[in-house]
Structure 1
Amino acid sequence: MTKTFTIRRPDDWHLHLRDGDMLCAVLPHSASHFGRAIIMPNLVPPVVTAKDAAAYRDRILAAMPEGADFNPLMTLYLTENTDPADVAAAHADGLIHAVKLYPAGATTNSASGVANFDRVGAVLEKMAEIGLPLCTHGEVTDPEIDIFDREAVFIDRVLDPIRRSHPALRVVMEHITTQQAADYVRAAPENLAATITTHHLVINRNHILAGGIKPHYYCLPVAKRENHRLALRAAATSGDPRFFLGTDSAPHTDANKLLPCGCAGCFTAPNTLSILAEVFEQDGALDQLEAFTSLNGPAFYGLPANEAKMTLTRSPPSFPSHVDTPEGPVTVFDPAMPLHWTVT
């Protein structure tokens, strides 16, 4: 039985750090394990211009723990008023590494997202021209569409038309949750990829609803049936370079998670690597963990893999049940299974 193994330092290609006191409280948990992260721009107000992104990056760097080696990769929030020239200049300066598409109303702080996709064609064309990836929150928000079908409908109604209109556009389908999404990526050219979260490899919709509602497992896109979870595990452990880790670690205080209309998101930053090692070992794929966490993402984004290494040792890890913040406690994701790997 393997007792220790070493991989290149991982990256997180989808991360929520929030701002202010929350940023200061949660940033150390990502900075301790990851070399880089694609930082989500859905603040209030959102990060919509190069100036916004530069200011947010400065706040992240100011909150960095002493001695941390962590590079926040900034993104812009796509709106119907986004200026293609501003996007291109931010990319040319090395400030941003992607633009994020939120359909209006799809998830936390997405009210400023896109409602009319015809109005963002010029931005997408410029992004295709300069090779800047579009990261998509892949759900429609039509109230007539069942919440468990929103990802599949997004592919048909939104993503596929965008890709036909802009065939050179590099696209990342973020936090995919369905067999349909995994199959769509496999069938596409190499300029389409997908991130998969830690929690969607572990939970299905029963974890949220069976035996009582579990708010700390509620996320968007919502976890689906077991066959979809297994399809995601097969994609993640396959070694296919089009799939890589984006934790979508999303901290909310317990007070906000436990409201009658509670927030969506799972806070996985503290224990993601231990959970992933467990999942990959269960599926006989520890040899593919480095590709998923450390190699595939940099290759798609045109960046070198991290030179630093990380060692995991077979010993039961210890994690806090929650992280204290000035705004209130944030519960750490419970994988509902024993873990046997510790980052050392």
Structure 2
Amino acid sequence: MVFEKFQDVELPASFDAHVHLRDGAMSNLVVPTIRQGGVNTVYVMPNLVPPITTVQQALDYRARLQALEPNVIYLMSLYLHESITPNVIKAAKKAGITGVKSYPAGVTTNSSSGVVDYTLFYPVFAELEAQNMILNLHGESPSGDDITVLNAEAGFLPTLRELHARFPRLRIILEHCTTAAAIATVLALGPTVAGTLTAHHLYITVDDWAGDPFCFCKPVAKTPADRDALLRAAASGNPKFFLGTDSAPHPATAKRGGDRIAAGVFTQPYATQLVLGALEEGVERGVVKEGEVTMEVLEGFLSGFGRRFYGVEDKTGETIVLRKGGEEVIGLLTKEGLEVEVVPFRRGEKCWSVEWKG
């Protein structure tokens, strides 16, 4: 049995460095599922409607999340917007906000207020660097001219290189890498640049989302070679790469029909489990060798590398236990009293399970 060595293995609780928890009824539905995925610390994206652009908005949002699930640590971010100034960054640092998320205008869900010209924000980036905060980049160029969803990430990589060259001490994360070129670029840049990998991009390619709206997200999955490059990065033990699920819930109706299909894949209740399954499938296909996936690699990718980059120590000491084949992905996430429903990634399929120790 592949990965038999991980049966009943105990690991530190996972850290998910990229989550969408929404607000209102959707938050009420999905926030309680965070710990089901073996996760006790999350970095929360700010692309609500309206976006989180002030310190007080971020603190109020965190309070709403804590009220729903107090046993999770929520690291908060601001949405890069024309109202964000160096003084806002200073205030954010004092308030314990972790970073700022940049969305190129119009590339994904709730990004209409995003960035058109990065040079306008150079004073903000300089202050982020001075305050030792993080710049999170949705790494795609807007569609147009020769840019489509298939090469939008490649089109953005020169911007990443330019930002790192101008702000070499600024901690920058290229979020949800989807291509071999993105992996190579992160590797080529200095230690202040890292990349997050989602659980779903370790499984899917363009053919999957072309035929299944529940696999459609931004950035879109690319070729089998790109997917395999992500798997090798996850199994490499390189601290530049760690888990950021980009779990993005949408109402089932918004994924099944209408004028436009919502971009986003929901993986939150199975974050750790899906990573194990993806690595196991990678071993079975010969993309990575089983011996390369060690306890140290798993602990680093799922928890240690991200916490280290973010400077977040897990003072809880919480651990999870891995079990093979003990869980099945539900077909539909619902909650009594809520009208909103969400379909999880790989619905109906068997997966690993995690249990909290103690």
Change (3 A) 1:226 1:337: farther
Provide the C-alpha distance between the structure 2 equivalents of 1:279 and 1:110, rounded to a whole number of angstroms: 29
Contact 2:179 2:230 in 1 (8 A): yes
Contact 2:13 2:39 in 1 (8 A): yes
Whether 2:122 is the aligned partner of 1:121: answer yes
Provide the C-alpha distance between the structure 1 equivalents of 2:266 and 2:143, rounded to a whole number of angstroms: 27
Q: Report Cα offsets for 1:281-309 as digits up to 9, x if no partner.
A: 34321522111011000110112245211
Offset of 1:35 from its aligned partner?
1.4
Q: How does 1:1-344 map to 2 (within 5 A)?
A: 1-2=4-5, 3-32=7-36, 33-64=38-69, 68-94=70-96, 96-144=97-145, 145-156=147-158, 158-209=159-210, 213-258=211-256, 259-282=258-281, 283=283, 284=290, 285-287=293-295, 288-305=297-314, 307-324=317-334, 326-334=338-346, 338-339=350-351, 341-344=352-355
Q: Which amino acid aligns with 1:207?
A: D
Provide the C-alpha distance between the structure 1 equivalents of 2:329 and 2:67, rounded to a whole number of angstroms: 26
Unaligned runs of 5+ in 1: none
Offset of 1:84 from its aligned partner?
1.3
Provide the C-alpha distance between the structure 2 equivalents of 1:62 and 1:114, rounded to a whole number of angstroms: 32
Provide the C-alpha distance between the structure 1 equivalents of 2:265 and 2:112, rounded to a whole number of angstroms: 20
Provide the C-alpha distance between the structure 2 equivalents of 1:331 and 1:337, rounded to a whole number of angstroms: 13
Unaligned runs of 5+ in 2: 284-289
Q: Which amino acid aligns with 2:246?
A: D
Provide the C-alpha distance between the structure 2 equivalents of 1:337 and 1:280, rounded to a whole number of angstroms: 16
Q: Which amino acid aligns with 2:266?
A: F
Number of residue pairs aligned between Structure 1 and Structure 2: 335
Offset of 1:83 from its aligned partner?
1.8
Q: Which amino acid aligns with 1:89?
A: A
Contact 1:22 1:327 in 2 (8 A): no
Q: Report Cα offsets for 1:166-213 as digits up to 9, x if no partner.
A: 22211000000000110111111100001000000011111122xxx3
Of 313-322 and 76-85, more deviation after overlay is shown by: 313-322
Provide the C-alpha distance between the structure 2 equivalents of 1:248 and 1:327, rounded to a whole number of angstroms: 23
Q: Which amino acid aligns with 1:334?
A: R
Please report the TM-score for the alignment, with normalisation by the length of structure 1: 0.93
Q: Which amino acid aligns with 1:270?
A: P
Provide the C-alpha distance between the structure 1 equivalents of 2:218 and 2:143, rounded to a whole number of angstroms: 15
Identical aligned pairs, as a percentage? Answer: 36
Contact 1:80 1:116 in 2 (8 A): no
Provide the C-alpha distance between the structure 2 equivalents of 1:89 and 1:179, rounded to a whole number of angstroms: 38
Provide the C-alpha distance between the structure 2 equivalents of 1:249 and 1:130, rounded to a whole number of angstroms: 28
Please report the TM-score for the alignment, with normalisation by the length of structure 2: 0.90
SS of 1:317 mapped into structure 2: strand
Provide the C-alpha distance between the structure 2 equivalents of 1:244 and 1:174, rounded to a whole number of angstroms: 10
Provide the C-alpha distance between the structure 1 equivalents of 2:330 and 2:294, rounded to a whole number of angstroms: 25
Which residue number in structure 1 is paired with residue 287 of structure 2?
none
Offset of 1:240 from its aligned partner?
0.3
Q: Which amino acid aligns with 1:294?
A: S
SS of 1:35 mapped into structure 2: strand
Contact 1:182 1:235 in 2 (8 A): yes
